[in-house]
Chains A and B, each alone.
Chain A
């Protein structure tokens, strides 16, 4: 079996006249395909008063189009066992679909219909609103979600990153059909969209079908996204607590604004974060908080690294009486990775993990599509995977320490806890 990674020779890249970039990677090992897509536009384009509008719009795209009713759409999709769904993030609205290759025309037709000519029937919007409201009520009773929500508000304040993409019960209640129709008209469009196809279809065939479905999509009313303001790091330890008295455990989120994916030292901080809270069973944090102290079932750190300064976070859930010990233990590990160079063994292990895990990540169509989309979205170059190994192995212990000092902090950090009692 060949070990070659997808690269400029095997990823077929096309640019449609209306600004859509299409990437195709042929994989004939099964009679299936996946299509992933990202469109520029998301919660960033909604006002605070209409929080959740972007997510509401994405959730309503398949509720009826000029040619199909809600029932038609799902009857056709589910009759062939295909999947198609849309979702909104802060900056991007994304979609993904999978099906047998024999059903690709149907899937592309439903995709194009939903993106281009949704009708947002009022009766259907009320059904969607009811489902969103139920999920928001469920969120309010979930310690992990509430700790994350409180953390974002504490860290980012009024910045768009401080607001939940799904909105609030009060804001979703005010969203009207006109709001949704306008959002779709002004935010949705082909320019800047990236579509990735992986599966048992030739590149020429795939791009011809996408051209046919979306090539003549034009959106003259689309408005450019406004620039996003800078985020500020806290200059002291800031902390908040969400009181949820009847819960068995408290959830904790600590963190700071993280690096952009385009940051020149992104791989340095990725290695640092992997050593801190990922490698093996949750890295150094897992060894300290789970293995040695037995405080928690999970404790890990997450580096997002996208197009926005999304947070770098550490997350754990512990018994309410262990909250302070868990926070102290995590802060001690953050200090240690800032104050001392990582050992040669730890660095070598992590480099081996980050490079060696690529074949496993690239095994399925989903995995391939996700990584190929990243190459385009973050402008990494189609040969990135071929050069990735060398890039990881040039990261030194000094660079890891420098990145930890730049992006992490034990003392100037935001901490949110959701659970039974205020324990500070």
Chain B
């Protein structure tokens, strides 16, 4: 229910209650005593009395009466009772034998004394009802404020803290029907953008360096060919004897050629050295990706793996022992990211994960295993080398730079841990993480 409807309903109920109360108060009145009616009753009774009709109670014109005779024993008691009940009392007079008026007793007109009580009860019910309704409305409004405003706000607060903590994977649940829905959505968009930007930055940084590294790597090959040809030419020309050549011009050309080839060779050397420098500089930069080690609860690993579980293929084979580990959550996340994406790319089978905590060695091992074709056993020691890519067909047909496991090893070593890759049913990676 919208707040506006609520307010309208609230007002309507309040006004209705108010009107009902007022109406009841005015509608309920204690019947006035009709003086002429009573007078006529009295006169009738007196007349009847004179005629000898001495009935002591009866009805006249919708009003019942009772006669208390002066001579009655309970005269006083009757009188007091009727006074108590606010009944109308009139004198009953008759004509005595001497023709004088004589006081006989009282006529008590019985009116309903409980009217006031009835009115009170009705009023009480009415007022209770009104107050009850008002209370229910207030509770409803408070409840609405709580669910529609306070709770979403609490969620938003928790979300903002997560963002501040740098946890950009935390999704904000959204409720469009809510006042906060749109607000929440923009917050979540902001988070999504931040996450993308951060990921993009990391990717751009890596790929820029990878490009430079790859290019320099590629340029080295033609330069090496140039150098080889130069050397070949030098050797070949050195064996040619100038005496065998026809004429002095040819001899001069030969000497010049040898000199020129030497220059080409020297320049090729320089290019080679420069490219080596460039290559090493970029590699170092790649290696220099900062690792900030902190003490983290081991449960972060589960979170990272779950984030990578886009196809529902990751299965935890045993429970992770809760403990504190040394790691850089960002880098460990990248390591896991690289390993799992490799598995998706090359094996595309289920991925089983085991955890093993060695308390004495203070080491937490994560074994990540897929059931794909694995790698060529000869290439096993090389998988963590930079730019190494397997010779298998799938690998050759899948784009990649050969840096994933290399970076994974760099990061693991920087965190004081280890990485080991081997074939067992499929490809298996064992990550060793230091426990605090």
The answer to whether A and B assemble together is no
